[in-house]
Amino acid sequence: MMVFHHLTTSPPDEPEERGVHPDDSGGGGTWHRVLPSDALASGSVARVVVAGAPVLLARLEDGTVAAASSVCPHQGEDLSGGRVYMGAIDCPLHHYLYDLRTGVNRYPRDVFPADLAARVAPLPLYPVKDEGGWIWVRSPEAGA
């Protein structure tokens, strides 16, 4: 199931009202409230925009929420058209499979000769938390 959400509302004056607050974990950056938790079912994906960057949200089969670049490192395909498969996102264009916990490419990297496998770029991941009924993502520039 694909869910698309794009936040384009005008921000209120108070950061907490607009779902934005400074990182309180010491990591820097800003956390953005991007999607109600119950809007992302197990095995589904959603594309949101955080600080101007497209971000893929996925709820893995075990209920864990992951946040990653929504752009496939291989050829730039939109990963929100992909499927969650065994804790990874399957790119809809060439079926490159990226682990959503580590960003590592699982396929075709695992079947490539070592010299080719070394050139397969990982998928950028972003800090994410599921808290207070909302999914929060830290600004990509802070988590990159």
CATH code of the domain in which 56 resides? 2.102.10.10
CA distance 105 to 108: 7
Q: How many domains does the chain have?
A: 1
Q: Residue 23: which domain range?
A: 2-143
**Residue 111: predicted pLDDT:** 79
Q: Identify residue 139 by its one-letter amino acid code.
A: S
Q: For residue range 64-107, what is the model confidence (pLDDT) as tens digits?
A: 999 999 999 999 999 999 999 999 999 999 999 999 999 999 99
Both tokens assigned to 128: 């994410």
CA distance 42 to 35: 14
CA distance 9 to 56: 19
Per the model's pLDDT, the better-predicted residue between 135 and 3 turns out to be 135
**Percent of the chain, pLDDT > 90?**
62
The residue behind tokens 């990297």 is 109
Closest CA to 66 of 56, 76, 51, 53: 56
pTM for this model (two decimals) = 0.79
CA distance 45 to 29: 24
